[in-house]
Structure formats: C-alpha cells, structure tokens
Amino acid sequence: MANAIYVKRLTRELRDLQQNAPVGVTVEEADDFVRWRLRIQGAPKTLYEGEEFKLEFRFTPSYPMEAPEVLFVKPYIPVHPQIYSNGHICINILYKDWSPVQTVSQVCLSIQSMLSSCRKKELPPDNDLYIKSASASPKKTAWAFHDETV
C-alpha cells in the first residue's frame, strides 16, 4: 500500500513540476522514483541573482510520510550560512518540521526563500568540522536550528 501511495504521489508531483514549476526551478533529471535532480536559479535582486544551483532529491518508499533527502550537488552549491560545502542543507522543513502535505515544489520554494533572505554569503561557522565528521546523508545529522533569518 505505501509503495502505491509513493508512486502515485511522485508521479503527480513530477507532472506538476514539469507543467507548473515555480519560477527559477527546472527539472533536470527525474527518470525514476529514487532520485531527481532539479536546477534552481537565484532570485532577481538577491545575493544569488544570476547564479544557478543543482539540488538532488532522494526518495524512499516511505515518501511522503518521510521527508526526502535533499542536498545541493557539487560544484553547484551556494555559499550560505545554512548550507555546508558538502551540499547538506540545514533547514527545518526537511527534518523536524517535515509534513506529508509538503511537496518537492514547496521544498524548492522554501530553499529559494532561504537563499533570497540571505544577507551575506558565508559558510556556516562550523563548516570544516561538520564536513569532516558528517555522514553522506544529511538525515543522519542531529540538526540544531538557531537562526532562521539568514
């Protein structure tokens, strides 16, 4: 049953993304229900205007009850206080605040919003330590959410 929900939901989301993607979001690769790659552009009049980044969404059959694993792909990783140089993203909606009503499109909008509100391009203060010890999966990190306004 869960597998049927997973396939139906991702099929609908992919069709919606291909027909009505948010401005600045493009599906680059979505050949299966395991891994999708999307291109996301920095919004006009922000620090990231004119820049392009790539996101990878990794799904399990537990989606949408479980959040997808989402990370930026090298070398298309923005310099941002909540994005580590290995592509891991510290944003609460992918972890503690995940809800099954959220979609890939909504996650992209949240990430675009996070980028747009950034006031200074800089890595997280603990970037070097984090990337030395982090698992390949950002979902295995015990994230501490401090400042949601950067």
Which amino acids are annotated catalytic?
A: 90
User: Helix or strand or coil: residue 47?
Assistant: coil
- Alpha-helical segments (H) within 100-143: 104-116, 127-133
- Separation CA 79–CA 58 (nearest Å): 22
- Separation CA 72–CA 53 (nearest Å): 7
**36 - beta bridge partners?**
57
Pull the structure tokens for residue 91. 């944003």
Residues in the chain: 150
